Amino acid sequence: SFPFDGRRWDQDEWYFLARTTSTDAAVELNGEGLTDLERRSVAGARWWSCPELAGAHETVYPTRLAELLNRLLVEGPPSEPLVLDTEIV
C-alpha cells in the first residue's frame, strides 16, 4: 500500500512484454476512459526501449523495470510470475 492524494492505496499491477520494431509511435492520452484522479495525476505515456528505460531521469515504477526487462529479453519469460517487493510504503 502507498499514500497518494490524501489516502492509502492497495493495488496489484501486471506488466506485459510487447515487442515492436520502433518506439517512435505516439501514445495519445486524451483522458477518455480515465478517472478524474488519473486525469489529474498521469502526466503522459510513451513507449520505451530497454536502454531508454535504463537511462531515464523520470520516476519509473517498479524502479527495477529496466533490469527486469533486460533479464526477460535475455533469459525469456520465467516459469512463474515474479512478485516484486513493495517499493512505496
Does 89 have pLDDT greater than 60?
Answer: no
Question: Is residue 44 within 8 Å of 29, Cβ to Cβ?
Answer: yes
From CA 20, how far away is CA 12, in angstroms rounded? 26
Quote the CA–CA distance of 79 and 4 in Å, as a whole number. 33
pLDDT score for 69: 92
12-50 tens-digit pLDDT: 888 888 888 877 777 777 778 889 998 888 888 888 888
Residues 6+ apart with CB under 8 A from 73: 50
pLDDT over 70 for what percent of the chain? 97
Grid coordinates standing for 46? Answer: 510513451
Give the predicted TM-score (pTM) of the model. Answer: 0.70
Cα 70 from Cα 21, distance rounded (Å): 16
